[in-house]
Amino acid sequence: MTQAAISIKNLEKTYDNGFKALSGVNLDVRAGEIFALLGPNGAGKTTLIGAVCGIVRATGGSVEVFGHDNIADYKAARSYIGLVPQELTTDLFETVWNTVSFSRELFGKPANPSMIEDILKRLSLWDKKDSEIRTLSGGMKRRVMIAKALSHEPRILFLDEPSAGVDVELRTSMWQQVHSLKDIGVTIILTTHYIEEAEEMADRVGIISKGNIILVDEKDALMKKMGNKQVVFDLREPLKAIPKTLSQYNLVLENDGNKLVFTYSPFEQGNDISNVLDNLKENGIRPIDIQVHQSSLEEIFIGLLNEKNVKDQVA
């Protein structure tokens, strides 16, 4: 088995006001993977990252980073980690070069200009190295935050909501940059509430809701489960029953046979909408209107939570 980069056991956080933001989180992140922590706002993503990085004081449980306890052996554990926080925090009047170099010094690492150069080039910031950060666009500022996090050559990079407030173009180039970091062996953990981001980036996805990890799975398996679409056909003539020749499809009649509902996953092969349309036509079934409905993240969470509640009751 590959070594876990991060091993989280029964991690709990109750804030001073009594709010329980993490209730017994167990999670192993594998070395070298891209792991997406997916969950709605307020689920506890930033708290979890903070507790691993030593910014938030956990009230129970433990975290090991490459085998080092993140409290007893804080310095060693922290040295493995680069953190790009959700909120951009940096000295706006400093230059890109100085900011990134200084971040490296903070970790007690000897100066290494050629490495800083490499990071800035990798993040397309090289031509901005002498610019003050306040003069940069939002996307560039975010890349400076990534450069800072990479300055001490961490083996693990945390990206907390990297795409929040970032335009589509930049998002795509950032995803490419993250993949290229993975290629050089960096373990990446990102938080997001965008399904597409988890889908695009992650090897594995963990879903967090109300301070609990409710599911961890390979991305492909999860997207198959999550990506259900529904097409609702309003029919000209009500149908009494679904024709036998259509039985291979997941079709259900509603509204006294006036609506035909087709549910499918775009990730399943051979179950595509054009086959269904052809088959409807062959059976003389004519829709007068069509609505497409994609399960939203919200619905998926509700679905997963309901599933979990049912399992808990059975167990």
Ligand X SMILES: Nc1ncnc2c1ncn2[C@@H]1O[C@H](COP(=O)(O)OP(=O)(O)O)[C@@H](O)[C@H]1O
The site for Mg ion (CB under 5 A) is made up of 45-46, 86
**Lookup result for tokens 């009649």:** 253
Rounded CA separation 189/31 (Å): 11
> Please, are residues 195 and 224 in contact by the beta-carbon 8 Å criterion?
no
* 51-70 positions binding ligand X, by CB under 6 A: none
CB of 59 or CB of 283, closer to ligand X: 59
39-47, 114-122, 164-172, 293-301 -> range binding ligand X (CB under 6 A): 39-47
Strand 287-294 relative to strand 68-69, pairing: unpaired
Task: Tell whether residue 209 is a contact of ligand X (CB under 6 A).
Answer: no
What six digits make up the tokens of 272?
């595509």
Nearest distance from residue 160's CB to Mg ion, in Å? 6
Nearest distance from residue 91's CB to Mg ion, in Å? 23
Rounded CA separation 3/144 (Å): 30
4-12, 17-25, 115-123, 306-314 -> range binding ligand X (CB under 6 A): 17-25
Q: Residue 218: what are its φ and ψ, rounded to 5°?
A: -60, 145
Task: Tell whether residue 206 is a contact of ligand X (CB under 6 A).
Answer: no
Residue 219 sits at the vertex; the CA angle it makes with 5 and 43, to the nearest 5 degrees, is 75
- Size of the residue set binding ligand X (CB under 6 A): 12
Nearest distance from residue 36's CB to ligand X, in Å? 13
Task: Tell whether residue 41 is a contact of ligand X (CB under 6 A).
Answer: yes
Q: How far is CA 214 from CA 64, 130, 312, in A?
A: 21, 46, 12
- Judged by beta carbon distances under 5 to 8 A according to partner kind, the member of Mg ion, ligand X, none in contact with residue 114 is none
Residues near ligand X (CB under 6 A) are 15, 17, 19, 21, 39, 41-47
